[in-house]
Amino acid sequence: MKAVHFGGGNIGRGFIGLLLSQSGYEVTFVDVDQELVRLLQERKQYSVVYAGDQQQTFTVDHVTAIHGSDQSRVAEAIASADLVTTAVGVNVLQHIAGTIAAGIASRLEQGGSPLVIIACENAIGGSTQLQSLVYGHLTEQQQAEASRMAFFPDAAVDRIVPLQQHEDRLKVLVEPYYEWVVDRSSLPYNHIEIPGVHYADQLLPYIERKLFTVNTGHCCAAYHGYLRGFDTIQEVMKQPSIVAQVEGALRETGSALIAQYGFNAEEHARYIQKILERFRNPHLTDEVVRVGRSPIRKLSPNDRLVRPALAAFERGIETPYLARAMAAALLFDYQDDPEAVQIQQALSRDGISSAVTKFTALAENHPLHAAVREAYETLKTERSDRV
């Protein structure tokens, strides 16, 4: 079986590529990193190491790569693939949609056998977003035909894979834990299930539980940790006062999730503790600037901070910790992150009130808007008092 995977980065090689290879797929990575593509083409294999006491190592072989700019070769690979997956970042989906559309067009010309396309990104409805971007590159007739042969099930992916710093450029160190959940209701009846993937009839509870626990908790740790001058999540998780912020935010998202989906409260509390242990993994070194990356995306209304806060608000649940995490995100002034720079520019040009509206889409008269503004002023003062 053949898979084409867009994005040979940390999740691409360390999670999706590994699992697909273990399930018998030959994986062709598509990436825009020339050196990465060259090495994958040359070696046709790489290793994945589990960050644990044993440092278990897996060889992922029968892999190759194509540079993303070579649209015709990628389209050809898609035309004969059994599966297409992505892990490029949700904002990059728009840049690969044209190539996927070309692959679908070519497949239609060759008879149009069914194709499953799964976006493995940290976003609600990632594959659905990709589908609409791909359809933007197809004619009406192609869209009608594609709707019968191309399937875009949404998915939730969970595995912590930090930035990699090994002599071997292809090697990836990953946490042993993983979860990949795919929406079964959007799959063709004869889809061959991938071992290790959990198929759910309703994805939304899974993706929201994951995004509003793992990702909300992780970014709270990152933003509060950054403000206090820590470099890694492992250091941050040794600070009781920051862990209290993370736990507070996860109590808030947890209350909203339990109210919304009826999760068992005790089980959810155990789920939270397990995730905090994963953040602490002493075998990983995870930089706060990686976990806090792209603050505009993380502050956007459908993402890990605002969406659960609004869900909580609708149910009468107070969210002071989530408001503080949003304020900390607005104070994330890391110079090498273009989104952080954009936020700082907006703050100094237009002030906090306008920035909260711009980045969170919360109306100025919404109580959460005021809570974020107040938390911002408090955190800002605390930070300057420390310097």
Ligand X SMILES: O=P(O)(O)OC[C@H]1O[C@](O)(CO)[C@@H](O)[C@@H]1O
Length of the chain: 387
Residue 214 partner contact from ligand X, ligand NAI, none using kind-dependent CB cut-offs of 5 to 8 Å: ligand X
Q: Shortest distance, CB of residue 188 to ligand X, whole angstroms?
A: 28
CB closer to ligand NAI out of 119 and 371: 119
Q: What does the CA dihedral 196, 201, 205, 208 come to, rounded to 10 degrees?
A: 60
Q: Which is nearer to ligand X, 85 or 122 (CB)?
A: 122
Asked whether the beta carbons of 40 and 29 are under 8 A apart, the reply is: yes
The entry of ligand X, ligand NAI, none near residue 215 (CB within 5 to 8 angstroms by kind) is ligand X
CB atoms within 10 A of CB 338: 12
| Cβ atoms within 10 Å of 167's Cβ, excluding its own | 5
Q: Least distance (Å) from ligand X to the CB of residue 130?
A: 16
Partner whose footprint covers residue 96, from ligand X, ligand NAI, none (CB < 5 to 8 Å by kind)? ligand NAI
How deeply is 34 buried, as exposed, middle or buried, from its count of CB atoms within 10 A (0-12, 13-18, 19+)?
exposed
- For the bound state, the minimum distance from the C-beta of residue 78 to ligand X, rounded and expressed in Å, comes to 25
What does 293 bind: ligand X, ligand NAI, none (CB cut-off 5 to 8 Å by kind)? ligand X
The site partner of 221 among ligand NAI, ligand X, none (C-beta below 5 to 8 Å per kind) is none
When the beta carbons of 194 and 233 are compared against ligand X, the nearer one is: 233
Of 9 and 103, which has the nearer Cβ to ligand X? 9
* Bridge partners for 61 per DSSP: 45
Nearer residue to ligand NAI within complex by CB, 68 or 369: 68
User: Which of ligand NAI, ligand X, none is residue 87 near (CB under 5 to 8 Å by kind)?
Assistant: ligand NAI
Give whichever of 7 and 356 is closer to ligand NAI, judged by the CB atom: 7
Those residues whose C-beta lies under 8 Å from the C-beta of residue 311, and which sit 6 or more positions away, are 256, 257, 260
Q: Could you tell which of ligand X, ligand NAI, none binds residue 43, using a CB distance below 5 to 8 A set by kind?
A: none
Closest distance of CB 21 from ligand NAI, Å: 16
Least distance to ligand X, CB of residue 384, Å: 28
CB of 100 to ligand NAI, least distance (A): 10
Contacts by 187-194 with C-beta closer than 8 Å and gap 24+? 187/116, 187/151, 187/153, 188/114, 188/116, 188/151, 190/114, 191/114, 191/116, 191/151, 192/1, 192/82, 194/19, 194/20, 194/23, 194/83
Least distance (Å) between residue 382 CB and ligand NAI:
29
Q: Which residues bind ligand NAI (CB under 6 A)?
A: 6-12, 30-33, 68, 87-90, 92, 95-96, 121-122, 157, 159-161
Question: What, of ligand NAI, ligand X, none, does residue 291 touch, CB below 5 to 8 Å by kind?
Answer: ligand X
Tell how strand 179-183 and strand 155-158 pair up. antiparallel
Which is closer to ligand NAI, CB of 293 or CB of 324? Answer: 293
Three-class DSSP category at 353: helix
Residue 351 CB, shortest distance to ligand NAI, in Å, is 30
* Chain contacts with ligand X (rule: CB under 6 A): 122, 158, 160, 214-215, 218, 291, 293
Task: For residue 72, give every residue at least 6 positions away whose Cβ sits within 8 Å of its Cβ, in sequence order, or none.
Answer: 102
Nearer to ligand NAI, 145 or 231 (CB): 231
Residue 111's region, left for phi above 0, alpha for psi from -120 to 50, else beta, is left
